[in-house]
Amino acid sequence: MNSFKNKKNISQFRFLYLNKSNKSFLLNNSYVQNISNLNLYSTLSSVKNEGRDLINLFLKDLKFIKICPQINLNYDCFSFDNLVERTKFRSRLKGNYGTGIYMLKYKNSDNLFYIGKSVNLSIRLNNHYLRSAKYNSRLGIFLQLVGWSNISVHILEFCDEKNLTNRENFYLNKYLPSLNGKFSSSYSSSVYRSLSGILAHRQSLYRKEDLRLNNHFKYSDFLWVYSYPELINLKCTVDGYPSKIYNDTDPCFKNIAEFKKSFRLYNLNNRIIYRYLDTYTPYKGLIFISANIGNVKNFKDLISRNYFRTPVYLSKKIWVYNSNDLSLLNNSPFESIKSTSRLLKIAPSSIKSILNTEIGISKGYYFFDHEISDKLKSDLLSKPNVRDPISNLRIEVWVYDSNLELIDKFNSQQEMLRVLDLKRVRTVNKYKDTGINFRGFYFYSFEIDNSLKKSILDNKNYAKYTKAKLVWVMVNNLLIKDEPFLSIISAAKYLNLNRKMIAKYIDTNKIYLGYKFYSKNPNPFFNNKP
């Protein structure tokens, strides 16, 4: 359970409520709400007095305390802070193409709730969980106060996208949810939708309308690809080069790997193909379909309409400030996270994780998606918050082999990375204390005893064996390289194949897409390239 640690939030809260709220719902001095009748504090024993005052403000801010709407659908999650429960709940929403109205409710009162809409409920609720508590909105401040353990999630109704705004307005006007910042939505749902949301909606819509499309498309399924605007079916020939054909005789690719192998110049990853599949929306002059729909020219108008209606989103600009003097790098923002990463040689994931957090990266930079105020500059200069480049490496690590025999106790993670020839501390921390084998190693922050060793080795579900395996690849009975690939993953990347298929065919002596895979050198006497 969270409580307010920074008293600055109280003044921010009061400002939000008394200056930014809808004027018709401000505090009425003649109205006194009987707080004792509301079960607000039953789980807030650790909340300080200022926290209780904030809850009172939530209630007193409205002239009329409204009760949350009746929940009729069986789409509820009472433990959204639990990863397993959250994942199950989001999976249910994905299966129902979740477009609709949702509610976040304080478990101990029907008077404290938030209502919103989304064209993709699964993504929206996950974003609420990850981000909402970081913002100084009504909902954000309340989540900081009570924590997600005291919040339940409910779906009020599913509806078509065209009716989404009207249905949200109905709920906002009728119930006046106390955690919302306003009680009407005048924005078109199409304005603020992400590109992925638009494509997901099109995919679900067309798959519902055309039952021939594969609703459960997998990596190994057949794939139909067409050029745009010619709308000509593309197929790879025996020699691996793409060719155009004008009939329906074997017009598809056997799987995604076959397509990617033929169109390497496009440099497409699986995520892009899955995202644009069955959307009738071109990407780099290609249209991806999961079924043989015959003459695609019948869809020419639909494809052209989708093409011109698909928004082109500008990259988010990044302001990078030097931690020493808070000067703006290059005196101007970078055009995107990608360009920032390339020029500063910092991983995009590292930039995203630290963006707008007021925490400086160890190289001496703060990252923001907006220009910061002079006050914030002054605060950061007086109290710098920059990560120590090696502080997280000065941690003792016990490393065990695949049989849980102690390899060594390392005084720092830096030393461990160097000795074991590993690259990322982040990866090590991911597997630390989990009982999961990574590249033949177990990582622990303490020395493990014999009983724990036995439980790890005996329980295969707990101790997943993930040791990297060398892979020799043969084509026409000749080795493809002078040396083996260091892992199945590296072989899959080099050959542009699915690593699961390599794992399936390794040591079977069977041919997969012209290749044979072995975990031991099949010909130790000579090693010729094809």
What are the pLDDT digits (tens) for 292-329? 877 776 788 888 888 877 766 556 788 999 988 899 98
* Torsion angles phi and psi, residue 153, rounded to 5: -115, 135
Total domain count, the chain: 5
Helix (H) or strand (E) holding 203: helix 195-209
pLDDT surpasses 60 at 96: no
Average pLDDT of span 469-473: 80
Confidence of residue 390 (pLDDT cuts 50, 70, 90): low
**What is the spatial distance between Cα 315 and Cα 191, in angstroms, rounded to a whole number?**
17
Verify that 279 and 299 share a domain, yes or no: yes
Q: Which residues span the domain enclosing 512?
A: 472-518
Residue 43's pLDDT is: 41
pLDDT tens per residue, range 151-209? 999 999 988 877 888 888 888 878 878 788 765 554 444 444 567 777 888 898 888 88
Residue 241 in domain: yes
Residue 52's pLDDT is: 52
Mean pLDDT (the chain, rounded): 75
Residue 34 in domain: yes
Q: What token pair was written down for 467?
A: 């040791």
Residue 315's pLDDT is: 65
Residue 90 in domain: no
Verify that 298 and 364 share a domain, yes or no: no
Confidence of residue 394 (pLDDT cuts 50, 70, 90): low
Residue 166 in domain: no
Verify that 284 and 350 share a domain, yes or no: no
Residue 252 in domain: yes
> For the packed helices 138-146 and 8-20, what is the interaxial angle rounded to 10 degrees?
150
Residue 393's pLDDT is: 54
pLDDT tens per residue, range 235-265? 754 443 444 443 445 578 888 888 888 777 6
Verify that 269 and 368 share a domain, yes or no: no
Residue 48 in domain: yes
pLDDT tens per residue, range 328-344? 988 888 888 878 888 88
Can you tell me which residue has the tokens 């084509």? 475
Report which of 210, 207, 204, 217 is spatially closest to residue 119, judged by C-alpha positions. Answer: 204
Q: Which of 389, 419, 450 is the last residue of a domain?
A: 389
Residue 14's pLDDT is: 42
Verify that 353 and 339 share a domain, yes or no: yes
Can you tell me which residue has the tokens 């926290």? 51
Verify that 324 and 409 share a domain, yes or no: no
Residue 528 in domain: no
Verify that 255 and 293 share a domain, yes or no: yes
Verify that 298 and 207 share a domain, yes or no: yes
* Torsion angles phi and psi, residue 442, rounded to 5: -110, 135
Query: DSSP characters for 66-134?
Result: PPPPP--SS-EES-TTSHHHHHHHHHHHHHTT--EEEEEEETT-TT-EEEEEES-HHHHHHHHHHHGGG
Output the CA angle 380-386-388, nearest 5 degrees: 160
Q: Which of 429, 458, 487 is the last residue of a domain?
A: 458
Verify that 203 and 224 share a domain, yes or no: yes
E-strand ranges in 173-237 read: 224-227, 233-236
Residue 143 in domain: no
Verify that 477 and 452 share a domain, yes or no: no
Q: Which of 337, 357, 389 is the last residue of a domain?
A: 389
Verify that 476 and 454 share a domain, yes or no: no
Q: Is 366 exposed, middle or buried (0-12, 13-18, 19+ CB in 10 A)?
A: buried
Verify that 478 and 494 share a domain, yes or no: yes
